[in-house]
Structure 1
Amino acid sequence: MRLDKFICKSTELSRSEATGLILAGSVLVNGESVNIASAQVHENNHITLDGQQLTARPSRYIMLHKPADTLSSNVDGDHPSVFNYIQLDKTSELHIAGRLDADTTGLLLITDDGRWSFNVFNPKYRCEKVYRVYLRDSIEGDIVGKVAADIRRRFEQGLQLQGEEALTLPAKLDFVSAKEVLLTITEGRYHQVKRMFACIGNRVNGLHRESVGEINLDIPLGQWRFLTADEISSIPQYS
């Protein structure tokens, strides 16, 4: 993480106060003065401030059941921020791992561990995200018939999103009814789910994220909880 962030996680200093001390030469990393606030450090580094060794507070990992008409943002905008639902200190240190659109509901992951959140939505690690999708138009014909099979095959082979050259990674489509499907993807492009269904001439009227990897949404709307140790360690390639 950034050196200034590490100092904030180890003390009660603000980001600007931490930056000032770094520039003043008060911070040593492995015995050497570092005066660049954005320098990358690891919690295993020996970091001191005015001779006192610093130890970062444990990272926090949170599940929130996001309501509709809320923003995946740290601040309010046209809609209220999801952070209004979380009663914790120092929420400014937290960030969202995989944002959801204002009108989308479901599982939102929030943390102050940048490496963990990077792995959650890095397509390299193929962490599966499952969305329940409510469609404007019925899938023509029997949902277990030829039309549905053709659509399912297109999602498995990858779709060409408007304005992009690379096809989407293989996705799994399960039909619940003619207007409701479960979609499993392993990447997180901009408005990806909505754009995927636009590729087949349909429109998403409702979207709900049910799970990320082995982390399943299990709390009421608008509620939050800390993730368990097993849930945290379930993210691929995290150590």
Structure 2
Amino acid sequence: MEQNVERLQKAIAKSGYTSRRKAEELIVEGKVTVNGKVVKELGTKVKPDDKIEVNGVPLENEEPIYILLYKPRGVISSVQDERNRKVVTDLLPEVKERIFPIGRLDYDTSGLLLLTNDGEFAQMLMHPKHQIDKVYVVKVKGIPTPEELKLLRKGIKENGEVLKSVRQRILSTDRKKNKAIIEITLHEGKNRQIRRMMESLGYPVEKLKRERYGFLHLHGLNAGEHRILSPHEVKQLKLLAQKIVE
């Protein structure tokens, strides 16, 4: 029996309710009960037959599901929006599990977004030490020089933050229209990071798309479409994240 005991926040994350970090916040805030009693200690251990409720709602362990979505522009990377704008889960009405996005893409950014109900998996991929390549293709107004683009790797200070790329290269230029298409690889995922970096260099972003996440890509999908990740892909992502974090 003892080997089935686990930390409360981990049990909540495994249920698909939310990430482990958010589960810890809910526990500290007194929004979690175990067998009818409020629990605020993060070290609390629970057994499989314990009755756990979050905000008065009993946890239900779902089968884990892992989804790759081609997010269109004009969709919020969330499960709800206070302004009633379209959110990514609106694109997946047939999915009955309680899924949520892993990280986010900005409202005006399209591309590859992962969703799951596996909080442990999400936490692993969003670990602050992760270095999974996220590859974007960006169309900008103006044509930056290679020297200017090198500044992205060194890091650009903007509003108290240092924004860095891992790699970058110009894919094409249009001298007549004064535009360029650039591939930028990030490890971070700061708010509007690429837009802020390029604007700091004087090249406003006109279009932005995430093409790849690690070894995953969008081949075969149109905007708004999705597919279920295979067990092998899930295993490879876990191995990649564990290797990087360690």
Alignment partners' CA distance in 1, 2:224 and 2:231? 22
User: Secondary structure, in 3 states, of the residue corresponding to 1:125?
Assistant: coil
1:163 to 2:159 alignment: yes
Instruction: Give the aligned length.
Output: 206
CA distance in 2, matches of 1:182, 1:112: 31
- Structure 1 regions of 5+ residues with no counterpart? 10-18, 26-34, 140-146
1:109-128 residue pairs with structure 2 within 5 A?
A: 109-128=114-133
User: Contact 1:123 / 1:186 at 8 angstroms: preserved in 2?
Assistant: no
Contact 2:132 2:241 in 1 (8 A): no
Q: Higher mean Cα deviation, 93-102 or 186-195?
A: 93-102
**Does residue 85 of the first structure (1) align with residue 91 of the second (2)?**
yes
Q: Percent identity?
A: 24
Deviations 1:177-206 (A, max 9, x none): 121011001010111111110121111111
TM superposition shift of 1:5? 6.0
Residue 151 (structure 1) aligned with residue 145 (structure 2): no
Look at both structures and tell me which one has the larger radius of gyration over its CA atoms: 1
CA distance 1:94–1:137, change in 2 (3 Å): same
Worse-matched range after superposition: 56-65 or 129-138? 56-65
Structure 1 length as normaliser, TM-score?
A: 0.73
Quickly say closer, same or farther: Cα 1:41–1:217, change in 2 above 3 A: farther
Which residue number corresponds to residue 22 of structure 1?
Answer: 34
Q: Secondary structure at the match of 1:155?
A: helix
For 2:224, the equivalent position in structure 1 comes to 222
User: Any stretches of 5+ residues in structure 2 without a counterpart?
Assistant: 1-8, 18-30, 52-58, 174-179
Shift of 1:155: 1.6
Residue aligning to 1:130: 135
The answer to whether the 8 A contact 1:121-1:187 is kept is no
1:1-150 equivalent positions in 2, closer than 5 A: 1=9, 3=11, 22-24=34-36, 35-36=38-39, 46-49=47-50, 56-76=61-81, 77=83, 79-91=85-97, 93-139=98-144, 147-148=145-146, 150=147
* Structure-2 change in CA distance of 1:133 and 1:7 (3 Å): closer
Question: CA-to-partner distance for each residue in 1:158-182, whole Å, 9 max, x for gaps?
Answer: 221x2124x3344211111121011
Structure 2-normalised TM-score? 0.71
CA shift in 2, pair 1:84/1:132, >3 Å: same
Matches within 5 A, 1:172-211: 172-178=167-173, 179-211=180-212
Q: Judging changes above 3 Å, is the alpha-carbon distance between structure 1 residues 217 and 41 closer, same or farther for their aligned structure 2 residues?
A: farther
The answer to whether the Cα contact below 8 Å between 2:153 and 2:166 also exists between their aligned partners in 1 is yes
Higher strand share: 2
Contact 2:33–2:39 (CA<8 Å) still a contact in 1? Answer: no
Q: Is the 8 A contact 2:13 2:118 kept in 1?
A: no
Q: Partners in 1 of 2:190 and 2:41 — Cα distance? A: 27
Contact 1:23 1:36 in 2 (8 A): no
- How far off is 1:7 after superposition? 6.3
Inter-CA distance 232–21: structure 2 relative to 1 (3 Å threshold): same
SS in 2 for 1:232: helix
* Closer/same/farther in 2, CA of residues 222 and 46 from structure 1, 3 Å limit: same
Q: 1:6 to 1:36 in 2, by over 3 A?
A: farther
